[in-house]
A and B are shown apart, each in its own frame.
Chain A
Amino acid sequence: DAKTTQPNSMESNEEEPVHLPCNHSTISGTDYIHWYRQLPSQGPEYVIHGLTSNVNNRMASLAIAEDRKSSTLILHRATLRDAAVYYCILRTNAGKSTFGDGTTLTVKP
């Protein structure tokens, strides 16, 4: 299974940018990089995804390394509501995806 590696936890101050890293050195050419976040007692929520180029949406930006072996989720101004567990996964042609344990983001007021 295609695997990703993320730091266990990160902290940020409110209204500051947050850069959440993810390593995926075994990525294949057709694998998409997806990010989700999960609040307590809820299912994961889709954040953003990309293949090769950087992507922006209303929630976040995704920066993908040129060799695609790593990516960074960027929250431009963290709010208290952004405190969650963030998962980086690879979506492959095989159908299923493997979730790691994600990064727990703490936002300090």
Chain B
Amino acid sequence: DTGVSQDPRHKITKRGQNVTFRCDPISEHNRLYWYRQTLGQGPEFLTYFQNEAQLEKSRLLSDRFSAERPKGSFSTLEIQRTEQGDSAMYLCASSLNPHNNYGYTFGSGTRLTVV
């Protein structure tokens, strides 16, 4: 198993453009999480899935953000009409259920820069 993979590693985009990130979790993990991290801060929760069902979205997640996990495998996170404030590291993590007795496995993240 190669762990959690995220693609791309880096993305530079112009303000107003749409971007999409992909996450491939560990295959047997049924939970998938998206976090966002800015410099000097800890990861901030965005949303998570149990298989293909999106169970929770952060109130901080504007309607420009959407996430999917079709067929309960890989997940995509799309940001529409990007703004400079969206510049951050976007982290994906996966876990088994019952989740509180299993650790997260994080990917290396996608670094987004909006210019």
Main DSSP-derived SS at the A contact region = loop
Contact partners of A34 in chain B: CB under 8 A: 103-104
Interface size on B, residues (CB 8 A): 28
Q: How far is it, in angstroms, between the C-alpha of A66 and the C-alpha of B60 when the chains are bound?
A: 36
Binding site for A on B (CB under 8 A): 4, 31, 33, 35, 40-45, 48, 50, 55-56, 91, 93, 98-101, 103-109, 111
Question: When the two chains form their complex, are residues A95 and B55 in contact, meaning their CB atoms are under 8 A apart?
Answer: yes
From A43, A95, A101, contact of B107 by CB (8 A): A43
Question: When the two chains form their complex, are residues A87 and B42 in contact, meaning their CB atoms are under 8 A apart?
Answer: yes
- Cβ-based interface call for A98 (8 A): yes
CB<8 Å pairs between A and B, sample of 17: A30-B100, A32-B101, A42-B109, A43-B108, A44-B106, A46-B105, A51-B101, A95-B31, A95-B48, A96-B33, A96-B48, A97-B45, A99-B42, A99-B45, A100-B42, A101-B41, A101-B42
